[in-house]
């Protein structure tokens, strides 16, 4: 039995909220003392952001039902953004 649109969006919202709390936990509780960069935490934050952007585009901006050109174009732009952010962070 397929789930309704309202239920799907509600589950998506709860999932995004959980991912946001995970990102907050990673950033706030990964170390005590002076702040210093941590590659794993930085790359984790970039990955969490990419997942959130992908879910928001598909579910709330209705890219899920868009023509293939728009779906692949938006995914391509997200990949370019993630690669650029990762390279900027590691450089």
pLDDT in tens, 66-76: 999 999 999 99
Q: What percent of the chain has pLDDT over 70?
A: 88
Full-model pTM: 0.80
As for how many domains the chain has, the answer is 1
Domain hosting residue 63, numbered range: 5-90
How far apart, in whole angstroms, are the C-alpha atoms of residue 41 and residue 28?
10
Decide: helix, strand or coil at residue 26. Answer: helix
HSE-up of 87 (CA within 13 Å, CB side)?
Answer: 6
- What pLDDT, on a 0 to 100 scale, did the predictor assign at position 32? 64
């Amino acid at each position: 039995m397929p789930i309704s649109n309202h239920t799907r969006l509600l589950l998506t919202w709860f999932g995004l909220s959980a991912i946001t709390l995970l990102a907050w936990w990673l950033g706030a509780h990964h170390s005590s003392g002076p702040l210093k960069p941590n590659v794993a935490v930085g790359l984790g934050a970039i990955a969490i952001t990419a997942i959130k952007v992908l879910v928001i585009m598909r579910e709330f901006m209705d890219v899920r039902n868009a023509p293939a050109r728009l779906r692949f174009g938006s995914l391509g732009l997200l990949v370019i953004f993630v690669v650029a952010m990762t390279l900027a962070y590691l450089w």
